[in-house]
Chains A and B, each alone.
Chain A
């Protein structure tokens, strides 16, 4: 069995759930808590960055811009899920990497959104073929 987008989504969801669970279970005032929580923050950060990279790789090689737009939309949804979880956690754990991850995720979400809209526009353009003499014929 190969790795599918559903596998990646599931692992990502679990990373966020684990961070939320740990955030609730730990006492932010305990010195060891920050250290433990920061490990899970790092895992979610790795998921955000790596999922972006996989999405960019797949979208670049996707001949249909509408399908590429759907992949970018899926990344936006993952970023939004992480942002929702981090909203409270960055206040509870202000010195354990959560605020930095929140800002990074916002930036990645914004990049994904930009690409989503551009790919949608590209797919709209496919409905009208370019003028015949615009590009050389592709072999």
Chain B
């Protein structure tokens, strides 16, 4: 996604791209019981926790981990919802 450097946040574009890709894979998984789907979900949550402990928590002390997770999920959702067909497979 085109990005104006002046509009950057503490979560980088690369980190967001990774979150969006993981979100797409586990939230849209066609087999939620598969080992792959569970591993991707674990990876997403671990990455969220890592970002929170290293960047978000120290900067925004009033924001909880659960709130950050939801904000990140909503951001991922907004990005994915702007995609047009043909949609990639999860």
Contacts and interface: CB of A to CB of B under 8 A. Distances in A.
B81 A56 contact: no
B9 to A, nearest CB: 4
Given A136-B3, A136-B7, A139-B1, A60 B73 contact: no
Interface residues of B, number: 40
A61 B81 contact: yes
Contacts of A62: 77, 81
A115 to B, nearest CB: 7
A36 to B, nearest CB: 28
Interface of B: 1-4, 7-13, 16, 23-24, 27-30, 32-33, 56, 59-60, 63, 66-68, 70-71, 73-75, 77-81, 83, 87, 90
B16 A136 contact: yes
Interface in A123-139: 124-126, 128, 130-139
A107 B33 CA distance: 8
B74 A136 contact: no
Given A56-B32, A60-B80, A136 B73 contact: no
Interface residues of A, number: 32
A53 B31 CA distance: 8
A122 B74 contact: yes
Contacts of B59: 133
Contacts of B83: 61
Contact of B27 (A115, A131, A137, A139): A115
Contacts of A108: 32-33
